[in-house]
Amino acid sequence: MLKSLTIFIFLLVALNANAQEDAWVYLTDKPNETAALANPTAILTQKAIDRKQNHAIPIDSRDVPVHEPYISILKSQVGITVMAKSKWFNAVHVRGTETDISALLNLTFVDHIDFADNGLDVGSRVGALEDKTNVEDESVVFMYGDTQNQVEMINVDDLHLADFTGEGMTIAVLDAGFPNVNTMTAFQRLRDNGDLLDGYDFVNRTEAVYDNVSSSHGTRVLSTMAAYIQDEFVGTAPDASYYLFITEDANSENPVEESYWVEAAERADSLGVDLINTSLGYTEFDNPNYSYTPADMNGQTAFISKGASIAVEKGLLVVVSAGNSGATAWQTVGAPADSPDVLSVGAVDANGDYVAFSSQGGAAQVGYQKPDVVARGGAAYVVNENNAITQNNGTSLSGPILCGGIASLWQAIPDASPTEVMDLVRQSASQYATPDDFLGYGIPDLALARTLGVEEETFSTFSFYPNPVKDKLKFNAPIDSNNLKIIIYTSLGQEVHTLKLSQGVSNVNVANLSSGIYVMKVSAEHHSKTFKFIKE
């Protein structure tokens, strides 16, 4: 009996030693970095460069691709399969046995390795990840048909009436399969207008995104934004342009899908995409050793969440479905919806009431609100892969419904940065003053967000100098500045000066003020903005 037990233990150890593991291999450098940054058009499209310049986003080492000779060497190592790569993290996702992966540390260009199974890491997963480094169409009046409620709920129909339908905005949809999008009549208008740009299947490494029939999830998601059926169905951004990227393997749940997602986000950035929509979320995997816990949903643990945050740093606006775990033991939002930098969208029904499946905010999101906002995800209308209008449940739908609406909004306020657009969406929402873990800031009013954004631009041309100041504080104000009122307060809130800007008033004498920090409130009708200055 003892001998049999010994043999069993030996076989078990041998099996474990040969078990396939997933890991991220982080590289030390990018030898081609200097040359690439000197010639950015070699690594980014002109649209991407223009977008970064418009939003003052620097082009840096993270825009430089992973050094291909390093990848070739990794592919040649015993037992190693390269699954994906990330220029933002300067990392390569590999698969192999624990022994073979660990042996990669012997390569001089490998900095460290982070196993998907946290128990195999010397350090934690968190500690291992460090940063190395408009043309308007003629007005169209839509008959929304079945989508009327989900469109009107976020007031994007008002934007459409003002000819803001997503024209000139580019959205990358990172999802599962997109069967029949290239043939369905619901997307005929999209194709005829040249707005179905391109696609790639990162799972199967093919451009045949319409042939992947393992899931029709992406087709339905896309329909909420882009589909058009005369008098029956209109998406929230029918005139935006779309890239379709498959990053989800519908046949399994493995952290390599996080790497596929980051790789697709990097490509979206390189192509000059404005928004990313993703109705995917990662919490638990087929291999339980890889699974996250609700406590990991802090925006700093999951690889995909940190990748989503970098996407925002790079100037993209990322809209993520919150998840469908509200009525389960998991309950809280998944990754990457847990990133504080993305706009996470929960779900309500046709009446605007919370639906039980919508994932909630939780204790892991310290200092920030999740979900951010909500839109209709209860019995929302979609067009399925058979070109039939039907209803589905899920934050998978509330996310893209709002994403398309935001594309239409951003077209109306093109000078706003991604973070400014997200802030305007939150500020326009129904419970902005009293957010909670169910609806976040509530249901956005995108027409109101546009108004807030336009009024914000009133102040964008206002400036003052010098700062710090000794005697006279001078103003550069808009041409029509008669409506601007200026009030100066001490840091304790005491009012010390009030004036209205006019042609005869372009400065204020602050020589008599004590040294310190002051707050200046500039008001235009019902809106205002505050600035700070230092009195020497």
Residues involved in catalysis? 175, 217, 396
Other C-beta atoms lying within 10 Å of the C-beta of residue 235:
33
Give Cα separations from 455 to 410, 427, 527 (angstroms). 14, 13, 7
Residues 404, 455: Cα–Cα separation, whole Å: 22
Using the CB atoms, write b or e for 427-453: b if 16+ within 10 Å.
bbbbeeeebebbbbbbbbbbbbbbbbb
Query: How many Å is the Cα radius of gyration of the chain?
Result: 26
Using the CB atoms, write b or e for 81-100: b if 16+ within 10 Å.
ebbbbbbbbbbbbbbbbbeb
Q: Are the beta carbons of 302 and 296 closer than 8 angstroms?
A: yes
E-only strand ranges, 395-515:
463-465, 472-476, 484-490, 495-500, 507-509
Structure tokens at 195: 């707005």
Half-sphere exposure of 20 (CA within 13 A, CB side): 12
Structure tokens at 228: 């058009």
Q: Are the beta carbons of 326 and 356 closer than 8 angstroms?
A: yes
Residues 218, 283: Cα–Cα separation, whole Å: 20
| 3-class DSSP assignment, residue 447 | helix
Closest to 227 in 3D by CA, of 219, 168, 398? 219
